[in-house]
Amino acid sequence: MVEAELGERSRQVLEAVIVDYTLTAEPVGSRAVSRKYHPDLSPATIRNAMADLEELGYLSQPHPSAGRVPTDKAYRFYVDRMKAQPLSRTEATRLNRQVGGARSELDELMEHASLQLSSLSRYTGVVLAPPLSHTRLERVDLLPVGGERALAVVVTETGWVTSRTITLGEPLRQLELREIARLITEGFGGLTFQEIQGRLDDPGPPPEERLGRLALTLAEKVFALLRDRNLYIGGAINILDQPEFADLDTMRMLLKAFEEKRRLIELFSSRAEAEGVRVVIGSENPYEEMHETSVVTAVYKYGNHILGSLGVVGPRRMRYAKVVALVDYTAKLVSRRLDRLARAEPSA
């Protein structure tokens, strides 16, 4: 359908405009296209093609006598038919070393990944940490740590460990704590955190014994702490080097978007079921503050479960071919890394 809409000539011109604009960030005129990309075609021919492209909504003019600028539709067309441009050897080794390195723990892995995404793309890297909603609880431990507080340790079936201190409502002995932890583990073990949340929201009749009731309130506390996902943003200022964000208001808007992590988290978690790399261009983004940006994301997995997503936020005139390859590679690297982290079973 799109193929029918555009002739070969128009397609080539469109591509040239996109490539040039990606490089220069300046509106590109017919003359420049002729000189730099198609010396065999005269500027006048290009002009005709460009006029067609504008009518079809692929190009637009900032003002009547300026060059043309690609629209979101143009980028979409380009992205859908381009080939990813594989990472260079040095880039790949650097990623492998920094992200695939063996020593780091989970949070360091996420942080390094976001930093590398940023510095290799020269835009901003984002990593959304695994949500717990779809993973299953293995067990809960409660350790007394003095006073009316305890350390709650939550272990999932996939082997992730989260711990937080919680404040008990009343002083409890170690034995009581252990019993409560056992009750919680028995009551909720094997369920996904989503299911657990459902049960907690609609608890039915309260248990008879005191410890049972305590277990419920403490479980509430423990799982409440796990609800928020972490979002790692690396190199937020990197993106500010792009000329389209040189304007003060645009800049402020973008930074505000970065600071409001909650909405970014939504953005990165929504539609994160599909495999492969996803590209959201400009106004395709539901988040209005990000209409000037494009977002490239991919999911990372543990075994067959999608755990989270990561990606790059950049200007609409992003070097898509490169970034898509980078994001894809990084996602796979993180998945492999997670596998190794979790599967490391006793070798004996």
Partner DNA sequence: CATGAGCACTTCCCGTGGTGGAGTGCGAAC
Partner DNA sequence: GTTCGCACTCCACCACGGGAAGTGCTCATG
Note the residues at the interface with DNA (CB under 7 A): 9, 27-32, 40-45, 47-48, 50-51, 54, 61, 63-68
User: Out of 18, 166, 177, 290, which residue is the one contacting a second copy (CB under 8 A)?
Assistant: 166
**What's the 3-state SS for the chain?**
CHHHHCCHHHHHHHHHHHHHHHHHCCCECHHHHHHHCCCCCCHHHHHHHHHHHHHCCCEECCCCCCCEEECHHHHHHHHHHCCCCCCCHHHHHHHHHHHHCCCCCHHHHHHHHHHHHHHHHCCEEEEECCCCCCCEEEEEEEEECCCCEEEEEEEECCCCEEEEEEECCCCCCHHHHHHHHHHHHHHHCCCEHHHHHHHHHCCCCCCCCHHHHHHHHHHHHHHHHCCCCCEEEECCCHHHHCHHHCCHHHHHHHHHHHHCHHHHHHHHHCCCCCCCEEEEEHHHCCCHHHCCEEEEEEEEEECCEEEEEEEEEEECCCCHHHHHHHHHHHHHHHHHHHHHHHHCCCCC
Counting Cα atoms < 13 Å in the Cβ hemisphere of 340 gives 13
Query: Residue 43 binds which entry of a second copy, DNA, none, with Cβ cut-offs from 5 to 8 Å by kind?
Result: DNA
The span of 7-15, 121-129, 244-252, 264-272 binding a second copy (CB under 8 A) equals: 244-252
305 near a second copy (CB under 8 A): no
Find, among 328, 245, 231, 244, the residue nearest to 279 by Cα. Answer: 328
Phi, psi of 280 (to 5 degrees): -115, 120
149 near a second copy (CB under 8 A): yes
User: Out of 56, 191, 200, 225, which residue is the one contacting a second copy (CB under 8 A)?
Assistant: 225
306 near a second copy (CB under 8 A): no
Query: Residue 274 binds which entry of a second copy, DNA, none, with Cβ cut-offs from 5 to 8 Å by kind?
Result: none
Give the residue with the Cβ less far from a second copy, 84 or 240.
240
Query: Residue 147 binds which entry of a second copy, DNA, none, with Cβ cut-offs from 5 to 8 Å by kind?
Result: a second copy
Find, among 329, 341, 342, 340, the residue nearest to 117 by Cα. Answer: 329
Total residues at interface with a second copy (CB under 8 A): 43
Give the residue with the Cβ less far from a second copy, 233 or 298.
233
Would you state the structure tokens that stand for residue 245, as one six-digit string?
């964000």
Give the residue with the Cβ less far from a second copy, 63 or 173.
173
145 near a second copy (CB under 8 A): yes
Give the residue with the Cβ less far from DNA, 49 or 150.
49
Query: Residue 23 binds which entry of a second copy, DNA, none, with Cβ cut-offs from 5 to 8 Å by kind?
Result: none
Query: Residue 64 binds which entry of DNA, a second copy, none, with Cβ cut-offs from 5 to 8 Å by kind?
Result: DNA
Q: Which of residues 125-144 bind a second copy (CB under 8 A)?
A: 138, 141, 143
Give the residue with the Cβ less far from a second copy, 91 or 138.
138
User: Out of 55, 65, 89, 167, which residue is the one contacting a second copy (CB under 8 A)?
Assistant: 167
Binding string, residues 253-292; x marks residues near a second copy by CB under 8 A: --xx--x---------------------------------
| Residue ranges binding a second copy (CB under 8 A) | 103, 105-106, 138, 141, 143, 145-149, 151, 153, 155, 159, 161, 163-167, 170-171, 225, 235-237, 240, 246, 248, 251-252, 255-256, 259, 341-348
